[in-house]
A and B are shown apart, each in its own frame.
Chain A
Amino acid sequence: MNIPKQTPEIFSILSKGNFISSNGSKGKLFDVIAYEDNFAILKEFFSHTGYHLEKGYNYFYFSQQEETNTLMEKKLEQFAYYIDVMDFFSSMDTKPAVGTRYRVTQIAEECYANERLKQKLFALSRREKMTDKVTEIANDLTTGGFFEQEDEDTYKVMDAIHYLEQVISLITIEDDGEQTNP
């Protein structure tokens, strides 16, 4: 089995819980994984490490079959936050479609003009300045691998955003009215 020479680099990114998106700066690694049989080879290879290489629409990530409840809880909390952040970005004039470039100053300006957006942002970050708040949530999404910072002011939406969208679409709201969506 000839594993690609970039395998250590791939592993070091994915094992940190990050994504490899086709439209990011690691696009070449995406190409490597997607090249011919490499995905199957790497999946097999990584399975020995306890990670399962998963494929999304134009992105790759690791999943783990067995996770502790604490970890799962933490992840769920994290997701609840991501959902709110996604809600924030989806309420903007420019929706977070793959490839969209957001400038922190531009988002902050829109928040100044849109009270509802501003409220959402205030609920998400406790920073003082508007731009700091925006930067904080953009950085959070960047840490999660859903955004990528291109320069000091610009963030780009990665293909991995599909992962968030998919998870959000999987959430069902019970009919009994008492149980509410997290």
Chain B
Amino acid sequence: MMENRRILNRIIFINIANTDYASIEIAGNTCFVGTNNMGKTTLQRAILFFYSANTRGLGISSSQKSFEDYYFQYPNSYIIYEIATEESIFHVMVYRNNKLFYRFVESPFVQEHYIDNSEALLPKQIVARFNEQRINYSDQIETFERYRNIIYGADPDKKYKKFALMKGNSNYHNIPLAITSIFLSSESTIRAEFVKECIANSITTKHTNIELKTVERQLRQFTERYQDIETFFRKENSQRGDLIKDNFGNIRNLKHKQRSLATELGGALKYGIEQKETLVEQVNAKREEITAVEQEFREKESIHQEKNKEVNQEIGALKSKLREADKKLKEYEDKGIRELLLKAEEKPQLALELQARETEYATLTAGFSDVEQQFKTLFSALENERKEFENVLNAKGLQLDRKLEEDKNNLKENYRKEEGELKEKFRSETDRYKQLLNQKELERKDADFKEKDIHQKKYFDKEIGLLKGHLEDIARHKVERSSLLSIKNNTIESLKKEGDHIRDKNKLTSEQYVSRNKEEVTLLEEKIKGIDAKLSIHQNTFFGFLQENYPDWYATIGKVCNEEILFNQDLNPRLLKKQIDTLYGIELDLSNVSVYSKTLDEYEQEKSMHLEKLAQLNHAFLEFREAQAHEEQSRLASIGKKTAHLKNEIAQLEYEAGQDEQKEKQYNLDLLEWKSKGEALREKDLLEIYSVQEAIKKESASLKQTISELDAVLSKDTATLQKRFNDKLVQVTKAFEAEAAKLKEQKEEKVAEYDERKANLQKEKSKVLKTKGVDDTRIKKLRSEIETTKAALDALDKHAELINDYRKDKRELFDKIEEFKKEKEKFEERIKQSEREFANEKQMHAKRLSQYESDTRALAEELKRYTDGLEHFERHFRERALFDRLRHVIEPAPAEHSEIGIIGLCSQLLANDTEYHNQFEKFRNNVTEFAGRFRPDNHLNFKINAQAGEGEYERFAAYLQDFYNENKIQTSIAEVAKSHGMLIDAIASKMKALIEHKGRIDKMVSKMEADFSRASFEGSRLIEYIKLKSEDSENKVLRKLQRIAEFRDQNPFLYGEANLFNQANKAKAEIDKRSVELLNDLQKTISEEKHEEIRVQDLFELRFRIKEGKNDTGWIEKIDKVGSTGTDMLVKAVIYITLLNVFIKESTEKTARNFFVHCIIDEVGQISATYLKELINFAEERNICLVNGLPNESKLETHYNYTYKFRKDQNGFVKVVPLLTMSIEP
């Protein structure tokens, strides 16, 4: 029989579950009667499977066999759905080959095609039979989706169009969902939740749901990251960060200093060892020199003493001689030597006198004989006497002359001798002084040379040279540094400019992008707005009118009316006559004219396309911004890194400059000190040399004075000597003259006496001759004279020995007293001179010795300094852990002098180490506190492993420094801003998509409401009304989501800047703060509420109100019990059918409602026959066939078009037996 509608006509089971074969016609209201476990539900489920084509949404619990395994147990198991259409009948075979497949067959179901000899054929055989029979069939349909598309008329392939049950739109899946939902909601209670779910399912797909787990995860990630950045920007942390930076700098400087000190110490130690050896040698050499000098002096001293001893002996001898002379002189004086000498002088005269008197006496006494003779003899005797006398006198005269000559000669000789001695004495003296003077002159020259040398000498040349070398190094470094600094500063400046340029460029690009984006967004929003405006009013416009009353208007009016006319509300259209295709009476061939207007779906589609594009734009904007921020950050980071590196280098250079400055100061001070020391020493040396020169000068002057004095004394003494010589000469001459006069007088006296005696004799002769007599008195007188003379001579002989002794002593001693004295003085003077010379020698020796000692002392002091230093190092440094740590630096350092000294360096190193530990302690605490403020797994990677040691903290500080330098926080900020923007966008767009459904929900609710009102059950008046209304949702999470969406709407372009932490713009900061708070709130609410997702049904609350008889339920959330069980059932069925009807209307093209669907509601046994009839009618009015299940046969089944009973045959196969095959008209 041909149907005038499209409907699932028949279902055939071949080897399905417990059924071997069953063919059940269901092209109307169908009732299955059967006790439990007879296969009612299996069949109902198979009908549902036709509509849903989803093995999982059939209400099979997980403990049961899967649909495939339960239904398709054999390779030749088939479910065949036969569909009747206006034109023909086709069927769909479902079979299993591992998975389920479909095939559409263009023919009614023919049992022989499938079963041969009571045996079901395999799919291949069946296909072969179709081929044999020339029956068209489709390709194997491999997916449920494709099958559904074909059945619901949504497959793009036109060849399948004929197999469509209805012309579904994009929402056709609501129909199977609704059918499934009704079938599955077997509960006795209809909850608003269920209806809501049905509404939701009918108007949307699961894609519109907001997965809260995902949102919560994204929110958590965002919040954590936001919190990390917030923590980073906290005041305490930025301060702490600075402290860490400072600490780290200090530590590095201290380490640097430690290394340089260690190197210096190493150098100083080696230098110290070298110096120690050298100095020991020098000190020993000096000491040996001192010993030699002392030895030399001692030798000189003994020579001096020896020399003096001899002279002293000489002096002693002279002294004893002088003493002896004095003594003897005194003895001679006592013996009256003077008188004796005088007497001895007269002895020759006395001897002559005696001889003369004796001769006279002999003559006188000899006889008087010849008086003539006598007298002659007398005369001759007298003459002889006179001659003798004259001879004596002459002899005396001669003696006198001789004596005079002798005395003169003696005097001259003495004078010459004395003069020679004097001259000799003075010459030696003068020579000595001259020698001394020469010596002084030499000394002066030496001193002058020394002075010149001192003037020219460079004191502490080595030290000053070293310092100058250091200073030159520093100056050179200064110049190098200054050029390096300027280069680096310039580089920094250019890097800064580059950075600014990048920022400016990016800002410009960003602004351009934003404005372009804004324009596009605005355009799209306007378009959406336009579509919304059209959609919101379409029901009251010409368009709405046509939709409602002129199903095919697209092909005619749609081609000649523009949108302005279509959406005009003031046209008041009225349908006068149908099927007249004229325009104001004029017929037009519109076959080649395109359609102006769009369908509602097309509008919706366009809108969603725009929305999607909008979302894409937003997303693209966020992507762009993040990418730009990333790119900017990476470029700026490299600049920052370079800048920081340069700054570090600058800091290092500045530190070095500082150090050098200090060193320079120190070196300058040292240089000044050495110079002043040098000058002081020069001055001292000069003063010394000046004093030496002065002394030499004085001594020279005094020597010259002495020499001139000596010359004067010599002249004076020579003069005195001359004078004394002259005086003595005069005296001698005078004495000679006196003697000569005395002799002359004596001669004259004697000559007179002789003459008188001659006269007397003459007289006497004459007298004798006259008288010849003798005179005895004369003889007597002669006698006494002879005797006196003899006595005098005797006395002289007696004292002759004494006189001889005296004369000998006089000759040997007394005359030499002066000589002795002079000799003694000479010796004494020599001793004095020697003493003076020795004193000079001693003084010089003392001076030399003192110089040597002072040199030795200086060397010893220096040696002590090095020894002390080395000892200090051994005792107080080597055993320390610090030494072990620095050993690798100390030991290889080359030897070098250190101003600070080993002890100083050791103390500085220890102080440095203490300072380092103090600083490190602070540094560690700061790092710990800094890292401790962040979450343990913070995304900024500020993590510290406390057990990893010092290196870990330094690594952290270096990382932190890099982080600051490269401004890495910007990357995080950009990421967070992006995730913030995306989150808000995603939430807003999802909410928008979700809220989009609100209108449709309301529409659906109102449609349902309208549908309910049509279910008037006029006949029974059982149900007065069923009302339905929607209220705002109470879902807290949804509210928060809504607030975020609203926020997004209010602040559409808040994402101008990619920084949520920028406090510069207060208004923006407030907005950022608010948005973050909103997100935080949402996260909190999600975790509190424990919803898994937000679905369309969460958008609203649904309330029922049913009045049955006098029972008014009021606005309730769930329909638990409305009246009796039957009534209750009825009401629920009504609601289900209404729901399905509304969904079908919503999901299919309105113009072609020529199809029927089945609504499967199990267990309707409680409904009274009347009400059931009314219900069936209610469904039929809505093109819905009911498929119900009844446990037992009753009269109810008579109201159905088809009633089947289920029973099992002897093989246990379920048999479906039709009870009535004709529909009974009520």
Count class of interface residues, chain A: 10 to 19
Centre residue among B930, B933, B936 by max chain A CB count within 10 A: B933
Report B221-248 residues with CB < 8 Å from chain A CB. 231, 234, 236
Asked if B936 and A97 make an inter-chain contact with CB atoms under 8 angstroms apart, the answer reads no
Contacts of B1056 in A (CB 8 A): none
Interface 1/0s, chain A 94-117, versus B by CB < 8 A? 100111110000100000000000
In the complex, which residue of chain A has the Cβ closest to the Cβ of B927? Answer: A99
Out of B234, B930, B947, which one reaches A99, CB within 8 Å?
A: B930
Report A77-128 residues with CB < 8 Å from chain B CB. 93-94, 97-101, 106
Contacts of A106 in B (CB 8 A): 947
List 15 A-B pairs, Cβ < 8 Å.
A22-B234, A22-B236, A23-B933, A27-B933, A31-B234, A98-B925, A98-B929, A99-B928, A99-B929, A99-B930, A99-B931, A100-B928, A154-B936, A156-B932, A156-B936
Asked if A101 and B236 make an inter-chain contact with CB atoms under 8 angstroms apart, the answer reads no
Report A129-159 residues with CB < 8 Å from chain B CB. 150-151, 154, 156-157
Asked if A93 and B931 make an inter-chain contact with CB atoms under 8 angstroms apart, the answer reads no
Out of A31, A58, A100, A151, which one reaches B946, CB within 8 Å?
A: A100
Asked if A23 and B932 make an inter-chain contact with CB atoms under 8 angstroms apart, the answer reads yes
Asked if A101 and B946 make an inter-chain contact with CB atoms under 8 angstroms apart, the answer reads yes
Contacts of B946 in A (CB 8 A): 94, 100-101
Contacts of A27 in B (CB 8 A): 231, 234, 933
Contacts of B997 in A (CB 8 A): none
A56 to chain B, nearest CB (A): 13
A177 to chain B, nearest CB (A): 32
The interface residues of chain B, by DSSP majority, are classed as helix
Given contacts A94-B947, A97-B929, A99-B928, 4 further A-B contacts (CB under 8 A): A22-B234, A31-B234, A100-B932, A151-B936
Q: Is B924 an interface residue (CB 8 A)?
A: yes
Instruction: State in angstroms the CA–CA spacing of A93 and B946 once bound together.
Output: 9
Contacts of A97 in B (CB 8 A): 924-925, 928-929
Q: Please tell me the number of chain B residues within 8 Å of chain A, measured between CB atoms.
A: 14
Instruction: State in angstroms the CA–CA spacing of A151 and B946 once bound together.
Output: 17
Contacts of B236 in A (CB 8 A): 22, 58
A125 to chain B, nearest CB (A): 22
Instruction: State in angstroms the CA–CA spacing of A153 and B930 once bound together.
Output: 21
In the complex, which residue of chain A has the Cβ closest to the Cβ of B935? Answer: A150
Report A6-54 residues with CB < 8 Å from chain B CB. 22-23, 27, 31
Asked if B932 and A99 make an inter-chain contact with CB atoms under 8 angstroms apart, the answer reads yes
Contacts of B234 in A (CB 8 A): 22, 27, 31
Contacts of B932 in A (CB 8 A): 23, 98-101, 156-157
In the complex, which residue of chain B has the Cβ closest to the Cβ of A148? Answer: B932
Known A-B contacts A58-B236, A154-B936; the reply to A98 vs B928 at CB < 8 A is: yes
In the complex, which residue of chain B has the Cβ closest to the Cβ of A94? Answer: B946
Contacts of A93 in B (CB 8 A): 947
Instruction: State in angstroms the CA–CA spacing of A31 and B947 once bound together.
Output: 31
Give B residues with C-beta under 8 Å from A.
Answer: 231, 234, 236, 924-925, 928-933, 936, 946-947
Instruction: State in angstroms the CA–CA spacing of A22 and B929 once bound together.
Output: 11
Asked if A99 and B933 make an inter-chain contact with CB atoms under 8 angstroms apart, the answer reads yes
A85 to chain B, nearest CB (A): 18
Instruction: State in angstroms the CA–CA spacing of A173 and B497 once bound together.
Output: 63
Contacts of B925 in A (CB 8 A): 97-98
Contacts of B231 in A (CB 8 A): 27
Contacts of A156 in B (CB 8 A): 932, 936
Centre residue among A93, A101, A156 by max chain B CB count within 10 A: A101
Contacts of B947 in A (CB 8 A): 93-94, 106
For the complex of A and B, the 9 pairs showing the least CB-CB separation, nearest first, are A99-B932, A99-B929, A94-B946, A97-B925, A99-B928, A98-B929, A97-B928, A23-B933, A100-B928
Instruction: State in angstroms the CA–CA spacing of A156 and B231 once bound together.
Output: 16
How many A-B pairs with Cβ below 8 Å? 41
In the complex, which residue of chain A has the Cβ closest to the Cβ of B236? Answer: A22
Contacts of A22 in B (CB 8 A): 234, 236, 933
The interface residues of chain A, by DSSP majority, are classed as loop
Instruction: State in angstroms the CA–CA spacing of A41 and B346 once bound together.
Output: 158
B436 to chain A, nearest CB (A): 82
A38 to chain B, nearest CB (A): 15
A159 to chain B, nearest CB (A): 8
Instruction: State in angstroms the CA–CA spacing of A156 and B933 once bound together.
Output: 9
Instruction: State in angstroms the CA–CA spacing of A99 and B237 once bound together.
Output: 12
B944 to chain A, nearest CB (A): 8
Centre residue among A93, A100, A154 by max chain B CB count within 10 A: A100
Instruction: State in angstroms the CA–CA spacing of A100 and B933 once bound together.
Output: 10
Instruction: State in angstroms the CA–CA spacing of A156 and B947 once bound together.
Output: 15
Instruction: State in angstroms the CA–CA spacing of A98 and B922 once bound together.
Output: 12
Instruction: State in angstroms the CA–CA spacing of A79 and B524 once bound together.
Output: 69
Contacts of A23 in B (CB 8 A): 929, 932-933
Contacts of B928 in A (CB 8 A): 97-100
Contacts of A31 in B (CB 8 A): 234
A66 to chain B, nearest CB (A): 34
Contacts of B930 in A (CB 8 A): 99
A59 to chain B, nearest CB (A): 12
Asked if B929 and A101 make an inter-chain contact with CB atoms under 8 angstroms apart, the answer reads no
B927 to chain A, nearest CB (A): 8
In the complex, which residue of chain B has the Cβ closest to the Cβ of A159? Answer: B929
In the complex, which residue of chain B has the Cβ closest to the Cβ of A23? Answer: B933
A60 to chain B, nearest CB (A): 14
Instruction: State in angstroms the CA–CA spacing of A64 and B1189 once bound together.
Output: 77
Instruction: State in angstroms the CA–CA spacing of A106 and B948 once bound together.
Output: 13
Contacts of B929 in A (CB 8 A): 23, 97-99
Contacts of B931 in A (CB 8 A): 99
Instruction: State in angstroms the CA–CA spacing of A22 and B930 once bound together.
Output: 12
In the complex, which residue of chain B has the Cβ closest to the Cβ of A31? Answer: B234
Contacts of A58 in B (CB 8 A): 236
A150 to chain B, nearest CB (A): 6
Centre residue among A27, A106, A154 by max chain B CB count within 10 A: A27
B536 to chain A, nearest CB (A): 41
Instruction: State in angstroms the CA–CA spacing of A156 and B934 once bound together.
Output: 11
Instruction: State in angstroms the CA–CA spacing of A158 and B465 once bound together.
Output: 60
Instruction: State in angstroms the CA–CA spacing of A150 and B933 once bound together.
Output: 12
Contacts of A151 in B (CB 8 A): 936
In the complex, which residue of chain B has the Cβ closest to the Cβ of A157? Answer: B932
B1070 to chain A, nearest CB (A): 15
Instruction: State in angstroms the CA–CA spacing of A106 and B932 once bound together.
Output: 17
In the complex, which residue of chain A has the Cβ closest to the Cβ of B932? Answer: A99
B413 to chain A, nearest CB (A): 112
Instruction: State in angstroms the CA–CA spacing of A156 and B937 once bound together.
Output: 13
Contacts of A98 in B (CB 8 A): 925, 928-929, 932
A71 to chain B, nearest CB (A): 32
In the complex, which residue of chain A has the Cβ closest to the Cβ of B930? Answer: A99
Instruction: State in angstroms the CA–CA spacing of A85 and B810 once bound together.
Output: 127
Instruction: State in angstroms the CA–CA spacing of A99 and B929 once bound together.
Output: 4
A106 to chain B, nearest CB (A): 7
Instruction: State in angstroms the CA–CA spacing of A89 and B947 once bound together.
Output: 14
Instruction: State in angstroms the CA–CA spacing of A123 and B83 once bound together.
Output: 87
Instruction: State in angstroms the CA–CA spacing of A156 and B236 once bound together.
Output: 18
Instruction: State in angstroms the CA–CA spacing of A106 and B945 once bound together.
Output: 11
Instruction: State in angstroms the CA–CA spacing of A22 and B946 once bound together.
Output: 21
Instruction: State in angstroms the CA–CA spacing of A116 and B749 once bound together.
Output: 154
Instruction: State in angstroms the CA–CA spacing of A150 and B932 once bound together.
Output: 11
Instruction: State in angstroms the CA–CA spacing of A97 and B925 once bound together.
Output: 6
Contacts of A94 in B (CB 8 A): 946-947
In the complex, which residue of chain A has the Cβ closest to the Cβ of B946? Answer: A94
Asked if A150 and B924 make an inter-chain contact with CB atoms under 8 angstroms apart, the answer reads no
Centre residue among B231, B234, B932, B947 by max chain A CB count within 10 A: B932
A57 to chain B, nearest CB (A): 10
In the complex, which residue of chain B has the Cβ closest to the Cβ of A99? Answer: B932
Contacts of B924 in A (CB 8 A): 97
B1076 to chain A, nearest CB (A): 12
In the complex, which residue of chain B has the Cβ closest to the Cβ of A93? Answer: B947
Instruction: State in angstroms the CA–CA spacing of A150 and B934 once bound together.
Output: 11
Instruction: State in angstroms the CA–CA spacing of A99 and B931 once bound together.
Output: 7
Instruction: State in angstroms the CA–CA spacing of A58 and B235 once bound together.
Output: 12
Instruction: State in angstroms the CA–CA spacing of A91 and B931 once bound together.
Output: 22
